[in-house]
Chain A
């Protein structure tokens, strides 16, 4: 069964303290792994797409990497404005049925 699991559920960092968020996935035929950021009371905002193992994408203090089983979102020297919930998702198209499977997210809080 297609599945996405994110860890940890919540993470508190001091400003400048680097860390990584994990997204483990199981899907038949990877069409891409997507990272989104969601601020409280708002819809998810697209960050990155990764398509194949070994691929990396960067945006400001964020870097996403992909292996055959998981993806990491590395946050380098975070700032309070990086506080948000980070979601990963994988699309799946099996037996004529389309799914877009989201993990439950990692709630990141960066303290000044």
Chain B
């Protein structure tokens, strides 16, 4: 199993450009999450999904949109990138299981995004 994968690994955007980050998981997990990690601020939840076709806002959703059209994929979109969105973005997933806490999250390797 590949676990959680993220595409791309690195990206540089100009202010105002748009892009989509792709997260894929092959563990049949119900829940998926997008975080951003900034120095001194830790990981912050942007949006999450509790199942195919559902999405919900996290702690810092402004400027981002998400979609979960397929259970294994969770997309994060930036419609008009701003320098404040320069960060490392992590995707995570967690199972809906009686054996493992649904709050146990498995993370991808991250996408380093720079907005100029």
B window 34-64: CB within 8 A of A: 40-45, 48, 56-59
Pick from A41, A49, A98: contact of B58, CB below 8 A.
Answer: A98
- Classify the interface of chain B: helix, strand, loop or mixed: strand
User: Chain A interface secondary structure, helix, strand, loop or mixed?
Assistant: strand
Minimal beta-carbon separation of B67 from chain A (angstroms): 18
Q: Which residues of B contact A103 (CB under 8 A)?
A: 42
Please state if A102 and B43 are interface contacts (CB–CB under 8 Å). Answer: yes
B103 in contact with A91 (CB, 8 Å): yes
> A107 CB to closest chain B CB, in angstroms?
11
- Distance between Cα atoms of A71 and B105 in the complex (Å): 19
Given contacts A31-B103, A103-B42, 18 further A-B contacts (CB under 8 A): A34-B103, A34-B104, A34-B105, A36-B107, A41-B109, A42-B110, A43-B4, A43-B92, A43-B110, A44-B105, A45-B107, A46-B104, A49-B104, A98-B58, A99-B45, A100-B45, A104-B40, A105-B42
**Which A residues fall within an 8 A CB radius of B?**
31-32, 34, 36, 41-46, 49, 87, 89, 91, 97-100, 102-105
* Interchain Cβ contacts under 8 Å between A and B, 9 examples: A42-B109, A43-B110, A44-B43, A46-B104, A46-B106, A49-B103, A87-B43, A100-B58, A104-B41
